[in-house]
Amino acid sequence: MIRTTPFRPHALLTTHNSTFTIRHNYCLHAKTITKNIIIKRNNAMATQTLTNIQQSRQQLIQDLIECAFTCEQCAAACLNEENTMMFARCIELDRDCADICMLASRLVVRDSEITPEFLGVCESMCRTCAEECSKHNHDHCKACAEACLSCAEACRSVIGTDAT
């Protein structure tokens, strides 16, 4: 709680030097209170912004890891299909996408300076993988395409935030 001293107009009726001292002290006290309020407000806003950034980074990391695991599952399932040659490109892209997403998650965790550029690569890879997986009518490919598109959007949103 901020305590203020009341303004005493009767104290201004004293000698010139005392009047100046009282007015000066009152102004300094008012400035200090105002400054403290502004600092507290700015700290609260900074804390809220930091919390939002941490939450968005955490969500991005989760999206990247989920995409990587979904791509690995899709590649493994494609290898178990009857005609694996039909899924060759899908398997290759799944494995590449999984590796890129895992590396991207590690870069985000350590706040690497190349993270924004690498997230651009990750977004592109996820979109390419999603496009290929959407060509196949299997549940694992559909799940992979969905995870890849979600991850690509998460990467895009972070890249857009960092650019501003």
pLDDT at residue 86, rounded to an integer: 93
Radius of gyration of the chain (CA): 29
Domain 60-163, second-level architecture: Up-down Bundle (1.20)
Tell me the per-residue pLDDT of 114-160, one tens digit each, with 9 for 90 and over. 999 999 999 999 999 999 999 999 999 999 999 999 999 999 998 87
pLDDT at residue 36, rounded to an integer: 59
Tell me the per-residue pLDDT of 35-74, one tens digit each, with 9 for 90 and over. 555 556 655 555 555 465 677 889 999 999 999 999 999 9
CB contact at 8 A, 148 and 93: no
Element (H, E) at 119: helix 115-133
